């Protein structure tokens, strides 16, 4: 028995026997070709180029509205593939240097890449990645013209591959394998995006799988966890069978539970929302039954392409989220929370000694107003289609709210002029994650339509403990009395001024913290997708009165005592 | 034959997207189109050629148009440079 952990790409649980597929699609031929083979090699190269062009067509259709910037890059790759000079130059290498087609392609692009690397210009020399990409695509397509998916993907087997390419993912499901395990591969690659939708478990990055697995070895594939058990022992097999048996029942029960309203034991209605990172997250069945998206992180829009997309492109993404949710459910869009540390080069910023205390969140947005305006415009344009809210990150002062609202009003005026529809009453609220805003929540509440408490940053700033520093992680938590006091104050101020208060940090998904937060008066939780079910269950176990009393009894506890007390409470 | 000097003003220089924009626009015309940078001279209708120039921000280029529709071609191409290829 051996356990392997990789990236979960597509969920599902299955047991079966593996079939190994070994090939190295990128390895190019050595030596020279004969004069009689020249034309054949030129033909094979041209076919690979044609195949690459149609492969990109396929990808473009698939991506459709998903990633505009990505589409632009792919389209420009297509332009290069259609370049006659490229075709001629490679043909010359094949004909005059008598190199095999794959080697000729490799050498041609390597010369281009070397040339670009010699340039002083940093930005341009990075463009060699484009060439690298195109080179690989052609070589791959040249090699697997001979590979037929049916030859190696066997029905009812768990297929293990060294790597996978988008066109293969699309055709793989026609061969009905049980699951797909890939040795290499990034969770953000094209292949991964497509593999999510093929309906069988897919796991990437199981290192050395081809070396350590033997043909026909039994495995259990845990798609959701990204886990593979090789040669499972009796214990695992029993566990698997039990899981499989109960999975169907569980799924039914889960959906039934999700369909019921979220209530405490004394029937107090609680709002249960979810945090998402990508629009595709909304396609998960659980999301159909919750009260909305309490946090839509938008940073991926930047990091996917390393540039900020235009308002139009952003509005397509926001609309996509709205359309994936039941009608009328709120979506809290948090504007870009990026810091100067990640954008230094592009914006010519000075290196920050402490980026967490630097120009990030709203500070960055108010400094680079055009980026902020594009995002505001994108949200406003999509607001005509559903209940979007604007959530401002890293607010430290009321002035920042006022300045942001001025920009929002200016963008509204522009859209009005252009006769573009939008929701004029769109709510604008703030993240409570910097202590100043929590301390003066009573004042901040007059300027915001809602509060959303971000416990991760709040904890790190209140306790001056870097949240990424593992040595501090256990000692400085949101169970600290000072953090709890600020959360309590924020909730109280929200109630007083009649504005919504939700909590979207890790704390909302922590089963031990949920009863504490209810006792503090919180009635709206935004949790991770994986936390929906267990938070819903915990919420139903207690009455508000009992939790209020429990908090009162323990409010002067230390952090450690608090944690122990609530741990005991939920174990009861 | 028309010669025209241009300076690249967009932040990222001629990367793939501007290169394909230039070659696509140039290919609409019959005239020949060369781009010169220092001692390099390339065919302006080829994306690969244009990329090979490795022209970053503030680079000076000489554009050479030669043929029946050289005037229109020149105007169209120069406009691309002036618009910074629709970038910053």
**Looking at residue B62, which CATH number applies to its domain?**
3.30.1340.10
A174 Cβ neighbours under 8 A, 6+ residues apart:
A149
pLDDT at A126: 56
The fold of A35-143 is Enzyme I; Chain A, domain 2 (1.10.274)
Alpha-carbon span A329 to A125, nearest angstrom: 46
Q: What is the pLDDT along chain A (572 residues), one digit of tens a residue?
A: 899 999 888 888 999 999 988 766 677 888 899 999 999 999 999 999 988 888 787 777 666 555 566 677 778 888 889 888 889 889 999 999 999 999 999 999 988 888 777 766 665 655 677 787 788 889 888 886 555 555 566 678 999 988 776 656 766 766 788 999 998 877 756 677 667 767 789 999 998 999 999 999 999 999 988 999 999 999 999 999 988 888 778 888 888 999 999 999 999 999 999 998 878 778 778 888 999 999 999 987 876 656 788 899 999 999 999 998 989 999 999 999 887 666 655 566 666 778 789 889 999 999 989 999 999 999 999 999 999 999 999 999 999 999 999 999 999 999 999 999 999 999 999 999 999 999 999 999 999 999 999 999 999 999 999 877 767 877 889 999 999 999 999 999 999 999 999 999 889 989 999 999 999 999 999 998 878 988 999 999 999 999 999 999 999 999 999 999 999 999 87
φ/ψ of residue A222, rounded to 5? -100, 90
Confidence of residue B15 (pLDDT cuts 50, 70, 90): confident
Where are chain A's structural domains?
2-23+147-235, 35-143, 260-571
H or E element: which one contains B58?
none
pLDDT at A366: 95
Is the domain defined by A260-571 classed in CATH 3.20.20.60? yes
Out of A72, A86, A121, whose CB is closest to B13? A121
Out of A76, A85, A119, whose CB is closest to B16? A76
- Of A526, A501, A484, which is closest to residue A442 (Cα–Cα)? A501
DSSP conformational letter for A336: -
Lookup: tokens for A64: 């459709």
Residues pairing with A15 in the sheet: A220
DSSP conformational letter for A146: S
pLDDT at A70: 66
The residue written with tokens 């996978």 in the block is A164
DSSP conformational letter for A19: E
- 3-state secondary structure (DSSP) of residue A59: helix
The residue written with tokens 């810091």 in the block is A339
Number of domains forming the structure of chain B = 1
Please write the tens of the pLDDT for every residue from B45-59. 888 888 888 888 888
Contact A177, A156 (CB under 8 A): yes
- Of A273, A327, A286, A318, which is closest to residue A300 (Cα–Cα)? A318
The residue written with tokens 């230390």 in the block is A558
In A, which residues are within 8 Å of B48 by CB distance?
Answer: 80, 83, 85-86, 89, 112
* B-contacting residues in A 81-120 (Cβ below 8 Å): 83-86, 89, 112, 115-116, 119-120
Contact B4, B62 (CB under 8 A): yes
pLDDT at A203: 94
Query: The pTM is what?
Result: 0.59
E runs forming strands in A165-284: 179-182, 202-204, 218-222, 227-230, 271-276
Q: SS3 sequence, A186-206?
A: CCCCHHHHHHCCCCCCEEECC
Percent of chain B with pLDDT over 90: 50
Contact A10, A223 (CB under 8 A): yes
* Residues of the domain holding B23: 2-86
Region A2-23+147-235: CATH code: 3.50.30.10
Cβ–Cβ of A127/B20 closer than 8 Å?
A: no
- Of A529, A527, A15, which is closest to residue A223 (Cα–Cα)? A15
Alpha-carbon span A458 to A452, nearest angstrom: 11
H or E element: which one contains A474?
none
Lookup: tokens for A60: 């473009």
């Amino acid at each position: 028995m051996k356990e392997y952990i990789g990236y979960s790409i597509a969920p599902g649980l299955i047991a079966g026997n593996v079939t190994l597929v070994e090939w190295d699609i990128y390895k190019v031929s050595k030596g020279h070709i004969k004069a009689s083979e020249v034309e054949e090699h030129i033909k094979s190269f041209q076919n690979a180029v044609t195949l690459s062009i149609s492969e990109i067509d396929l990808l473009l259709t698939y991506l459709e509205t998903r990633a505009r910037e990505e589409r632009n890059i792919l389209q420009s790759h297509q332009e290069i593939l259609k370049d006659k000079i490229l075709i001629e130059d490679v043909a010359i290498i094949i004909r005059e240097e008598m190199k095999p087609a794959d080697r000729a392609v490799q050498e041609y692009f390597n010369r281009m890449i070397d040339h670009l690397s010699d340039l002083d210009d940093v930005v341009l020399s990075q463009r060699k990645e484009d060439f690298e990409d195109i080179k690989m695509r052609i070589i791959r397509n040249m090699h697997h013209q001979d590979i037929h998916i049916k030859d190696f993907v066997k029905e009812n087997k768990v297929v293990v591959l060294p790597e996978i390419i988008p066109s293969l993912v699309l055709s793989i499901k026609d061969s009905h394998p049980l699951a797909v395990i890939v040795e290499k591969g990034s969770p953000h690659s094209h292949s991964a995006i497509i593999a999510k939708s093929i309906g069988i478990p897919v796991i990437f990055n199981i290192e050395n799988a081809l070396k350590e697995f033997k043909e026909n070895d039994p495995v259990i594939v845990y798609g959701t966890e990204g886990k593979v058990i090789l040669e499972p022992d009796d214990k695992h097999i029993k566990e698997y069978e039990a899981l499989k048996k109960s999975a169907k029942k569980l799924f039914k029960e889960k959906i039934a539970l999700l369909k019921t309203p979220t209530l405490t034991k004394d029937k107090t209605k609680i709002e249960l929302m979810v945090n998402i990172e990508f629009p595709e997250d909304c396609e998960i069945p659980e999301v159909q039954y919750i009260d909305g998206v309490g946090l839509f992180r938008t940073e991926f829009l930047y990091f996917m392409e390393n540039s900020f997309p235009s308002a139009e492109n952003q509005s397509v993404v926001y609309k996509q989220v709205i359309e994936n949710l039941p009608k009328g459910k709120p979506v809290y869009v948090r504007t870009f929370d990026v810091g100067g540390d990640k954008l230094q080069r592009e914006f010519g910023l000075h290196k920050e000694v402490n980026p967490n205390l630097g120009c990030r969140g709203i500070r960055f947005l108010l400094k680079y107003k055009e980026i902020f305006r594009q995002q505001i415009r994108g949200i406003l344009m999509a607001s005509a289609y559903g209940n979007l809210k604007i959530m401002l990150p890293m607010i430290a002062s009321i002035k920042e709210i006022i300045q942001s609202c001025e920009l929002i009003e200016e963008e509204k005026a522009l859209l009005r002029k252009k006769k573009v529809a939008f929701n004029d009453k769109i709510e604008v609220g703030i993240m409570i994650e910097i202590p100043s805003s929590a301390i003066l929540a009573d004042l901040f509440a007059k300027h915001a339509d809602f509060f959303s408490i971000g416990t991760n940053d709040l904890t790190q700033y209140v306790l001056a403990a870097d949240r990424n520093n593992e040595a501090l992680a256990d000692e400085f938590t949101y169970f600290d009395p000072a953090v709890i006091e600020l959360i309590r104050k924020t909730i109280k101020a929200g109630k007083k001024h009649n504005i919504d208060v939700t909590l979207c940090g890790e704390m909302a998904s922590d089963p031990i913290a949920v009863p504490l937060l209810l006792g503090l008066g919180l009635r709206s939780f935004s949790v991770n997708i994986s936390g929906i079910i267990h938070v819903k269950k915990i919420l139903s176990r207690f009455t508000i009165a009992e939790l209020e009393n429990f908090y009162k009894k323990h409010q002067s506890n230390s952090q450690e005592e608090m944690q122990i007390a609530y741990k005991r409470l939920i174990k009861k | 034959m028309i010669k025209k000097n241009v300076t690249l003003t967009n932040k990222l220089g001629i990367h793939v997207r501007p290169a394909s924009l230039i070659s696509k626009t140039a290919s609409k015309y019959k005239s020949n189109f060369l781009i010169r940078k220092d001692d390099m001279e390339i065919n302006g209708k080829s994306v690969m050629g244009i990329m090979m120039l490795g022209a970053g921000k503030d680079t000076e280029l000489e554009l050479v148009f030669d043929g029946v529709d050289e005037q229109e071609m020149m105007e169209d191409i120069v406009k691309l440079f002036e618009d910074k290829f629709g970038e910053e």
